[in-house]
Amino acid sequence: MCCPGCRAVASMIAGSGLGNFYQQRTAYNERPSPEAAATPEQYLIYDDPELAATFTEPHDDATRSARLLLGGITCAACTWLIEQSLSRLPGVQRALVNLQQSRLDIRYDPSVLPLSEIFARVETLGYRPRPFQANIQRQQMEQEYRIELRRLGVAGLGMMQVGMFAIALHAGDIQGIDLRYQGLLRGVSLIVASFIVFYSARPFFSAAWRHLKQGSLVMDLPVALAIGLAWGASAWATFSGTGQVYFDSVVMFTFFLLLGRFLEHRVRQRHTLTWFDAQSTLPAAVSAQREGQWQSIPRMQLQDGDRVLLKAGDTIPVDGLVMAGESAVNEDTFNGEHLPRSVAPGDTVYAGTVNVEAAVEAQVCGSYRDSRLAALQRSVEQAQTEKPRLAKLADRIASWFVAGILVVTSATGLVWYQIDPQQALWVTLSVLVISCPCALALATPAALTSAASALRASGVIVRTENALEALARATHLVFDKTGTLTEGTLAVARVIPLGQEDEPRILRIAAALQQYATHPIAKAFSEISAAGDFSAISYQVGAGVQGRHNSSIYRMGSEAYCRELSHALAPAPDTDLYWIALCQDQIPLAWIGLSDRTRVEAPAVIDEAIRAGLAVELLTGDSSQQGPLLARQLGITEVNYGMQPQEKMARVRELQARGAIVSMVGDGLNDAPVLGLADASFAVAGATDLARTQADFVIVGGDLGAIISTWHKARQCRRIILQNFAWALAYNLCAIPLAAAGFVPPWAAAIGMSLSSLLVVINSLRLNRRFPR
Amino acid sequence: MDSLYLLIPIALVFCVIAIKLLLWAIDNGQYDDLDKEAWRILADDDPPATTDKIEQDTDTDNKP
C-alpha cells in the first residue's frame, strides 16, 4: 500500500469478497491519484437524461445499455473485477468489459440504479470511467482488426487444404503419379490458392503498389512479387500441364506473414489510448449562475460571459476572468511547476488548471476552442504530424533485396536460355520462388512482437510501431523534471531551528497548522503526526496560515507574512529550496525548506545513460533555480528551464535538425506535445492520460530504471533483427545458386522456406526473456 | 482412385462451410477480445465471499 488511493481501492476490493483479483492479475494496477479522483457528485451530471442519451440506448423493457470507456485497465483480471463487482449491484442486468478497447458495456435499469452510481462504483475500484463516444478512428481500428482476422483465418484454413493436396503432389513427384490425378490435384489447389491470393494476400499487393507509386521500395514489394509470380507460374503450369506448381509455398507464405503481422499489431493495439484528448481532463459538470441561482450544468452548455463558481480543488473548466474571491491556481498543466500562482479579481485563469486555495467566481471568456488548453491539444496534433518517420530497417533492406533478386533471376534466365531454352522459364521461376522473402519479411515483426511482450511483462507498454527501432538508435535522452526525475510533490528537505524548539517539535507544530490548509505545501506535512490543538485558524490566501494554541499565536507562511508578527525573523537562508517560516508570537521558531524529492533511482538511471554514451538533457517548465540545481546533482550538463510546451518542442526540433535521434521522458500535460514529437518517448508512472497517448512507451511500474532496460531491450531487438536478416540472406545466398542450377524441386522449396522462417521466429523468441538484471 | 473426383469436392465443401462459420463468428464479435476469453475460463464465477459478509462489512462501516 503506497497511498490513500491504493488503500481505498484495496479495502473496497477485499470488502466485497473479490480478493481473488490479487491472485489472478498478471500486471500491477496503476496507482490511483487521490487528488485527480472525481467525487461521486461530479458523476450526478450523467443522470441528466439528455446527456445520458449521447452514450446510452433504451431497450423495450425500460432498461438501458450504456458504453463507458475505462482508463487504467491493465490486465484480464481487471475485467473480471469490474464485471463481478458491477453485476452484484441491484439493477445491473449484464456487465461486459472489452479488454482490448477498455470498454464497458452495461445493461441496467435506470429506475433502480442511476447511471452516476455505476460511474462512482467503477471509480471506487480504481479505474477512470468516462462516456464512450463513438469515433471514426476507433471504429476503423475495430473494423481493421476484424478484417485482418478474417484474412488470417481464411489463409489458415486454405493453407491446410492446399497443404493436403501438396503432400499428394510431392509424393507423386517422387513415386510417380498418373497425369489425370496430377491435373485434378493441381486444379483444386489452384482454386483454393487463387482465393487466398486474391482475398488474404491483397494487403501486400495494395501496400506494395501504393509505395511504388510514391517511388519507395518497401518490404511488401518483394513479398507481393514472390506471391504474385509464384502463383502466376503455378497457374500457368496447371493449365499447360507442364513445369512445377508452388501453391503450397504461396499459401504458407501468405499465412505466416499474416500471422506475424497480426500478432505484432495485437501486441501494440492492446493499449492504444487514441481516444484521449486534453478536453477530457475538464469536469463534465460546472456550477454556473442561471437566473440568479447557482446550478450544476453540463460544461458544454456554458456560454461566453456566464458566471461560474470554482470551488477549491476543482479543475477550472474554461478560460475565465476572476470576478470575486482570491485564490491560487496550480498551473502545472502548462509549466510543470507545483507552486501555485495567486489570483485576485481581474486575473485570468485557464481551463485545465486547478484552483487550490479558495472558492472564486469567474466570468467565462470564450469557448473551449479559444482556450489555452485547446492550443495545447493543437500542438499535440501538430507534433504527431511532424514526428520524424525513421526509415524501417526492413524497408531499407527490401530495396537492396529486390534489386539483387531481379539481377540474379534475369542472369539465370539469360544463361539457361543459352543452355536449354525449354527449361529456361521453369528454372527462372524456381529461383524466384526459392528466393522467397518469407524469413526476411518475418524478421522484423517476429522480433518486435517478442520484444514488446517481454517489455510488457516487465511493466513497459510499447505503443507505436517504430518505437523500438527508433529507441535503439537514440543519441539523446531528454528528461522533464517535475514528476519525472522528481516525485512531483513537495517534501520537507531541511529544518533550521531559530528558537529553543527542536526539529521534531517544530515539524509537529507545522503539521498541526497545515492540517487546515489545502495548499500543495500542506501535503508535505501530511505524514507527520500533528501536535497541539489550534483554534481561531485563519488562512490568508497566498501568504500563510495562523492559529492560536495555549494563548500564543502561531504563524506559518511567507517571509513577509511571518515578519508582520515577529519582526526579528532572519531572511531566508538561500534560494535553493522553497522556504517557509514558522513563528510563535514575536519569536521566530524555524525556517523550513521544502523541495521536490528526487526519485531514488534517478541518479543511477542518469549515470547509466551517460555511461552508455547518450547525451542527457533536462527540459523543464519550472523557471526556478531548482532545475539547474537538480541537473548539477545528477551530473546533467545541458539544462533548459522555464520552458513553455512550444519551446520544448522547438528545442527537440532543433536537436532533430542537427541529426540527433531524440528520446524524451515526461509525464505532464505540458509534456504531451514534445512526447509526440520525439523519435521515441516514455511516459512515466503517474503520467497524465494525454502524455500516455503521445508516448511510444508507457512505464506502468514506478521504476525509472525501466528506461534503461527498455533501451537495452531495444538494442537487443535491433541485434536480433539484424541476425534474422543475416540468416535470411545467407539462406538465399545458398539456395539461389542451387535453384539457378535447377536442383531444387518444389517440395524442397517448401521445406526450406518453412525451416528458415521457423529459425527466424525461434531466434526472435530469445527476446522474450526478461531483463538480464 | 476415381473416388477422388467425388471426395475432393466434398472436402472443399466442408472447407467452405468452415470458412463461412469462421467469418460469421468473427463478424459476430466473438474474436474481438482474445485476451479476456482466454483468461475467463480460469476465473471463478462465484468468488468464495457471500453476500452476508458484505452486509456485515457495511454494518461495521456504518457504526458511528
Tens of pLDDT, residue by residue over A108-155, are 888 888 888 888 888 887 777 877 766 666 777 788 888 999 999 999
Over residues A531-549, the mean pLDDT reads: 78
ipTM of the complex: 0.73
Phi, psi values for residue A600, rounded to 5°: -60, -40
Phi, psi values for residue A480, rounded to 5°: -90, 160
CA pair distance A671, A649, nearest whole angstrom: 9
**Per-residue model confidence (pLDDT) at position B61:** 40
Tens of pLDDT, residue by residue over A451-469, are 888 888 788 888 877 888 8
**Per-residue model confidence (pLDDT) at position A187:** 92
pLDDT band at residue B51, thresholds of 50, 70 and 90? very low
What domain range is B22 assigned to? Answer: 1-45
CB of A19 less than 8 A from some CB of B: yes
pLDDT band at residue A1, thresholds of 50, 70 and 90? very low
CB contacts, 8 Å: B1 with chain A: 178, 181
**pLDDT above 80 (res A616):** yes
**Per-residue model confidence (pLDDT) at position B56:** 39
| Residues A753 and A436 sit within 8 Å (Cβ to Cβ) | yes
Structural domain includes residue B63: no
Residues 6+ apart with CB under 8 A from A124: A8, A9, A12
Nearest residue in chain A measured CA to CA from B60: A15
Domains and CATH numbers, chain A: 4-134 (3.30.70.100), 139-271+389-448+721-762 (no CATH), 280-379 (2.70.150.10), 459-486+599-714 (3.40.50.1000), 489-597 (3.40.1110.10)
Over residues A346-368, the mean pLDDT reads: 84
CB of B31 less than 8 A from some CB of A: yes
Nearest residue in chain A measured CA to CA from B26: A146
Q: What percent of chain A has pLDDT over 90?
A: 12
Structural domain includes residue B55: no
Residue identified by cell 509549466 is: A335
Structural domain includes residue B61: no
User: For A185-189, A289-293, A572-576, which range has the lowest pLDDT when averaged over its residues?
Assistant: A572-576
Tens of pLDDT, residue by residue over A253-264, are 899 889 988 888
CB contact under 8 A, B38 and A76: yes
Cα–chain-centroid distance for residue B43? 13
**Per-residue model confidence (pLDDT) at position B43:** 66
Residues 69-98 of A with CB under 8 A from B: 76-77, 79-80, 84, 88, 97-98
β-bridge partners, A535: A548
Structural domain includes residue B52: no
Secondary structure (3-state) at A106: strand
CB of B1 less than 8 A from some CB of A: yes
Over residues A198-225, the mean pLDDT reads: 87
CB of B57 less than 8 A from some CB of A: yes
**pLDDT above 70 (res A37):** no
Domain count, chain B: 1
**pLDDT above 80 (res A354):** yes
**pLDDT above 90 (res A349):** no
**Per-residue model confidence (pLDDT) at position A27:** 61
**Per-residue model confidence (pLDDT) at position A6:** 57
Structural domain includes residue B54: no
CB of A188 less than 8 A from some CB of B: yes
Tens of pLDDT, residue by residue over A472-488, are 989 999 998 888 888 87
Nearest residue in chain B measured CA to CA from A88: B51
User: For A272-276, A544-548, A564-568, A625-629, which range has the lowest pLDDT when averaged over its residues?
Assistant: A272-276
Residue type, A648: K
Structural domain includes residue B17: yes
CB contact under 8 A, A20 and B47: yes
User: How far does B36 lie from chain A, in Å, by closest CA?
Assistant: 5
CA pair distance A381, A277, nearest whole angstrom: 10
State chain A's mean pLDDT as an integer: 82
**pLDDT above 90 (res A294):** no
**pLDDT above 50 (res B47):** no
Structural domain includes residue B53: no
**Per-residue model confidence (pLDDT) at position A509:** 82
Structural domain includes residue B24: yes
Tens of pLDDT, residue by residue over A362-406, are 888 888 778 888 888 788 777 777 777 766 778 788 778 878 888
